[in-house]
A and B are shown apart, each in its own frame.
Chain A
Amino acid sequence: MRGEGSASKKRVFEKITEELIELKNTSELMIDLAYSALLLNSVELAEEVEMLEEKMDKLHTDFELRILSSNFKPEEAKEFLGLMRIGSVTERIADAAEKISSLVLRGLKSHPVMNLVIEEAEETVVRAKVSEESPLVGKTIKEARINERTGMWILAIRRNNRWIRPKSTTRIKAGDVLIASGYTEGEEDFLHLVSGA
């Protein structure tokens, strides 16, 4: 009996951790996307940020409910409070990101100074799906050397309705949707690479 209880408790903790990591990563991804949306004056990216904000709301509620229903002991209350506070912080970061991207949806343009502030201010943003034939499949972001080959940077990866913030160790899979920004000259090379054509 005791073993069973601790196993289910372990699952609860795994789930809480998973959700917290997703909240954290989503909020950080939103900031990246929001800056890019503003710089590129991209309604498309700004709308992605809005969608992520809705996703955050849901995730955050699930996270809080899971903590509240996890039957923690009174002496653990403080540590669970800490988790809830961190959850709220991710939500506030997401709100800040949304504030930035909503400028675009309200038709307010970025000030020229902004483009100087955000150094990775590039000219274009593209979105492309990785085909089975692409040489990128199975490679990590580092191994794929997309920036060296095309001059484009990967901003975000969408995989089965989940957003991933790319790290050097993230492995690219067929079917991933890559969002990248860079100079217009690199766009064609990038699309070739991703489609494998």
Chain B
Amino acid sequence: MTHLEKIRYKPISVKKILREMKDISEVMIDLAYSAALFNNADLAREVMELEERVDTLSYLLNMNAMIAARDAGDAEALISILTVAAATNEISDAAADIAKLVLLEIGIHPIVREAFRRIEEQLIRVVVKPGSKLVNKKIGDLDLAAQIGVDIIAIRRVKKWIIDPKDDEVIRENDVLIARGAPMGIEKLRAMAEGKEVVIEE
């Protein structure tokens, strides 16, 4: 029996909720495909958590939008927001279905998986270990995109998700980083997060 979170109305701006829904749904797609390609249950579980978050946000957004509509003009203006929110919710459900393939051990055919993996950019999930050089560094200062060709697309800090982190975001111990890049860069980031010495060539 799954435990469903109780929903209560909270006054939150529609803008804030919608941005979070959109950002999360996009990261979920990437995470879900990677979970399937690498047959990685950890990534799949991250996707399932995000899916729950999107469900909660969807209720909150609908309630706040209902309160915001005073007349027919408002209703017409708000329908685009509700439609986009519903679309991000569907995208997140779709991503969750990919993740479930991993959790239910259905998987995808290994030959296709291998081929897919060679062609597509890779995604990893790494935990920042104490002692890693990444700890207490700003994302902007690390400039990983230029240094090793890797982009950090999300950070999970205990239960909180930071999607598409800004340059001034500081990485902390035990952060879970989700990053995308070419296989070599990905391996370098993994080593950095684990506190190993990494040589960066020009």
Spell out A's residues near B (CB within 8 Å). 13-14, 16-17, 20-21, 24, 28, 31, 34-35, 38, 76, 78-83, 85-86, 88-89, 92-93, 95-97, 99-100, 103, 108-111, 113-114, 116-118, 167
Residues from chain B with Cβ under 8 Å of A100 in the complex: 83-84, 87
Bound-state CA distance A95–B198 (Å) is 44
Bound-state CA distance A14–B93 (Å) is 28
Interface centre among B15, B93, B110 (most CB of A within 10 A): B15
Residues from chain B with Cβ under 8 Å of A20 in the complex: 112, 116
A117 contacts B15, CB within 8 Å? yes
Contact of B115 among A17, A38, A85, A167 (CB under 8 A): A17
Classify the secondary structure of B's interface with A: helix
Interface size classification for chain B = 35 or more
10 more contacts with CB within 8 A, not counting A85-B97, A85-B101, A96-B94, are A28-B29, A76-B109, A79-B109, A92-B93, A95-B90, A96-B88, A108-B76, A113-B15, A114-B80, A114-B84
A111 contacts B107, CB within 8 Å? no
A113 contacts B79, CB within 8 Å? no
Min distance, Cβ A116 to any Cβ of chain B, angstroms: 6
**Per-residue contact bits, chain B 41-72, to A (CB 8 Å; 1 contact, 0 not):** 00000000000000000000000000000000
A114 contacts B81, CB within 8 Å? yes
Classify the secondary structure of A's interface with B: helix
Is B169 on the interface with A (CB-CB < 8 A)?
A: no
Is B167 on the interface with A (CB-CB < 8 A)?
A: no
Name 17 A/B residue pairs within 8 A (Cβ), A-sorted: A17-B111, A34-B87, A79-B109, A81-B106, A82-B109, A85-B106, A86-B98, A86-B101, A92-B90, A92-B93, A92-B94, A93-B90, A99-B86, A100-B87, A108-B80, A109-B80, A113-B15
A89 contacts B112, CB within 8 Å? no
